Structure 1
Amino acid sequence: MSVVTTVLLILSTAFITFFFIKWVLQSKGKRYPKGPMGLPIVGHLPFFGRHPPSTFMKWWESYGNVFSIRLGSWNTVVVNGYKAVKAAAEHPNDAFSGRPKFISSEVLAERIHEDVFAFGNFSPVYLKQRNLASKALRLFTSKRKDVIEELVTNEAVAFADSLVRKFSTSPGHIELEVQILVVRIIYQFLYGRGEQVDFDRHVKIIYREVEEFNKFTGSGSALDVLPWLRYIIPWKVDALRKLTAKGDAIMWEQVQKHYETFSADHIRDVADAIITSDAEDEENKDRYVLTRARLNLTLADLQGAGADTTSKTMLWLILYMTKYPQIQERVFAEINTVIGKSRNVELKDKPNLVYTNAVILEVMRIVTQVPFSLPHFSMTDAKIEGLDVDKDTVVLFNLYSIHHEKEFWGDPEYFRPERFILDDNSFIRFKNNHVLAFGLGRRRCVGESSQK
Structure 2
Amino acid sequence: MFSPEDSFVPVSTVTVTLFVMGLILFALERRTQEGERSKGPPGPTPWPLVGNLLQMEAQIHISLTKLRDRYGDVFQVKMGSLVVVVLSGYDTVKQALVRQAIANGTSMTFSEKYGEAWILHKKICKKALRTFSQAKAKNSTCSCLLEEHICAEAAVLVNALSEHPDRERGFDPTVSLVTSVANVVCALCFGKRYDCNDKEFLNIVQINNEVLKIFAAGNLADFFPIFRYLPSPSLRKLVQYIRRMNAFLEQNIQEHLNTFDKNCIRDITDTLIELCEDRYEEGKQSVLSSTQIVRTVIDIFGAGFDTIIAGLQWCLLYLIKFPDIQRKIYQEIDDTIGSNRMPRFEDKTKMPFTKAFIYEVFRHTSYVPFTIPHSTTENVVLNRYFIPKDTCVFINQYQVNHDPDLWSNPNSFQPERFLDASGQLNKDLIEKVMIFGMGRRRCVGDGFARLEMFLFFTTLLHQLHMENISGQELDLTAEFGLTMKPKPYKISVYPRH
CA positional deviation for 1:266: 2.5
Deviation (angstroms), 1:149 = 2.3
Describe how 1:128-207 pairs up with structure 2 within 5 A.
Answer: 128-144=120-136, 147-166=145-164, 167-193=166-192, 200-207=198-205
How many Å separate the matches in 1 of 2:210 and 2:62?
Answer: 27
Q: Distance in 2 between matches of 1:198 and 1:74?
A: 42
**Shift in Å at residue 285 of structure 1?**
4.5
Tell me how far 1:330 sits from its aligned partner.
0.9
Counterpart of 2:462 in structure 1 is none
1:164-183: CA deviations, max 9, x gaps? 22232322222222222211
- Quote how far apart the aligned CAs of 1:54 are: 1.8
Give, as a single letter, the amino acid of the residue that structure 2 aligns with 1:191: F
**Does residue 74 of the first structure (1) align with residue 82 of the second (2)?**
yes
1:417-440 Cα shifts (integer Å, max 9, x gaps): 111111212110101111122211
The residue number in structure 2 matching 1:270 is 268
Which residue of 2 is the match for residue 126 of structure 1? 118
Matched, 1:308 2:302: no
Name the counterpart of 2:392.
Answer: 394
Alignment equivalent of 1:87, drawn from 81, 87, 95: 95
Q: What is the SS of the residue equivalent to 1:77?
A: strand
CA contact (8 A) 1:98 1:378 kept: no
- Measured at CA, do residues 149 and 266 of structure 1 come closer, stay the same or move farther in structure 2, by a change above 3 Å? same
Using the TM superposition, give the Cα deviation of residue 361 of structure 1 relative to its aligned residue in structure 2, in angstroms: 0.7
Give a deviation string over 1:185-225, Cα, whole Å, max 9, x none: 1111111116x679933321221011111221225333322
- Over the residues paired in the alignment, what is the CA RMSD in angstroms? 2.4
CA distance in 2, matches of 1:129, 1:444: 14
Query: Which residue of the partner structure matches residue 58 of structure 1?
Result: 66
Give 1:264 shift.
Answer: 2.3
2:418 paired residue number: 420
Q: 1:266 to 1:424 in 2, by over 3 A?
A: farther
**Counterpart AA for 2:362:** M
| Aligned-partner residue type, residue 152 of structure 1 | I
C-alpha separation in 1, matches of 2:94 and 2:283? 33
Query: 1:449 Cα deviation (Å)?
Result: 4.9
| Corresponding residue number in structure 2 for 1:353 | 351
Report the CA distance between 1:84 and its aligned residue.
Answer: 0.5
Q: How far apart in 1 are the matches of 2:105 and 2:389?
A: 10
Aligned to 1:246: 244
Where do 1:269-288 residues align within 5 Å?
A: 269-281=267-279, 285-288=283-286
TM-score w.r.t. the length of structure 2 is 0.77
1:78–1:395 Cα contact (<8 Å) kept: yes
> In the alignment, what sits opposite 1:260?
258
Deviations 1:304-324 (A, max 9, x none): 232111111110111111111
Greater C-alpha Rg: 2
For residue 304 of structure 2, what is the amino acid of its counterpart? G
AA at the equivalent of 1:66: V
In structure 1, what residue type is equivalent to 2:324? Answer: Q
Q: By how many angstroms is 1:282 displaced? A: 5.7
Moved more, 220-229 or 379-388: 220-229
The match for 1:14 is none
Contact 1:89 1:442 in 2 (8 A): yes
Number of aligned positions between the proteins: 409
The percentage of counterpart residues that share the same residue type is 28
Distance change (3 Å), C-alpha of 1:401 and 1:219:
farther
Q: What's the CA shift string for 1:119-157, capped at 9, x where partnerless?
A: x41111000010011111111112238732222122112
Distance 1:233 1:174, change over 3 A: farther
